[in-house]
A = this chain, B = another copy of it.
């Protein structure tokens, strides 16, 4: 393990001063002779010199990395989102550190701190927390936060940017779609409703019911205390079990996301019901939804466009202001086999 070469080593090897090397590093080539330039370049090469980003950061240089905190990398929706955002950022020559908060506020905080400590100045945060008060210190210190999948709240700190799909509209469309198919007993399957986006989705479901004169029925919304991601399987199973145990069973079901939808479908199948018995709509349109049988009707988030928007915001200087910018994207209902049947 050879020691790492520093700017001094290079300077010595090239017979110049560190400043000359630094000038070269910072593309101020014009203030040195071509001949000197060459010598320095050679010395760098020979020592396989790489400037220390740590030292540069100490001097105030920004870290070009963007932090991306997601609730669960085990949920393919977040994997797709991360991949999408990275593709777009990569085209802009930027890199991403993906952090998994596991929906744990403490871990989320710790990652924000860690990223800050590493000099990262921009974070795209998909938080589980309705309140962002805990980010105050980081934002005061210059951290720029873009909230994703979290529509803005009144109490948000100034300077916060938000990019989100219109969750309420999406869930409304999903529910209305079922009503249009003749369903009146429509369940809502989800883990705990503790995030802004889930609240909005539930609200969309309720509005659609109300608009169609269908009374809201608690029994059709069997929530579990857990949030559920990779573990949505057992949660959905419990919910389905509860729903099938009702006297007046649902004929259709809106799931808070595709993981719950697919898990619920599997549970229904295990219970001997198929898509002809109970229709299912998901949310997110993860790649699997098109792959399974019956293919899942779901609400698609325009990930590509949202990624472009996030990158544009990240690149934009204006974000330093106190203006709370908020972008809301329209979701699309993707009709597939899981809701094909029209009833009475």
Residue positions of A touching B, CB distance < 8 A: 1-2, 4, 48, 50, 52-55, 57-58, 63, 65, 72-76, 78-80, 82-83, 86-87, 90, 95-100, 102, 107, 110-111, 113-114, 116-119, 137, 140-142, 230, 233, 262-263, 265-266, 269, 287-288, 290-293, 320
Contacts and interface: CB of A to CB of B under 8 A. Distances in A.
A114 B79 CA distance: 21
A82 B287 CA distance: 19
A72 B83 CA distance: 7
Contacts of A95: 99, 110-111, 114
Contact of A73 (B48, B79, B118, B263): B79
Given A100-B83, A100-B96, A54 B117 contact: yes
B291 A2 contact: no
Query: Assembly of this chain: how many copies?
Result: 2
A339 B95 CA distance: 42
12 contacts: A2-B140, A50-B137, A52-B117, A53-B118, A54-B119, A65-B114, A80-B230, A86-B102, A95-B110, A230-B287, A263-B291, A292-B292
Nearest to A141: B4
Contacts of A269: 293
A7 B192 CA distance: 43
A126 to B, nearest CB: 14
Contacts of A142: 1, 4
A138 B94 CA distance: 21
Nearest to A95: B114
Contacts of A292: 266, 291-293
Contacts of A86: 73, 100, 102
Contact of A54 (B2, B54, B107): B54
A260 to B, nearest CB: 11
A179 to B, nearest CB: 27
A24 B297 CA distance: 59
A94 to B, nearest CB: 10
B117 A102 contact: no
Contacts of A99: 95-98
A78 B140 CA distance: 35
Given A57-B54, A110-B95, A293-B269, A73 B65 contact: no
A241 to B, nearest CB: 16
A96 B78 CA distance: 16
B54 A118 contact: yes
A293 B78 CA distance: 24
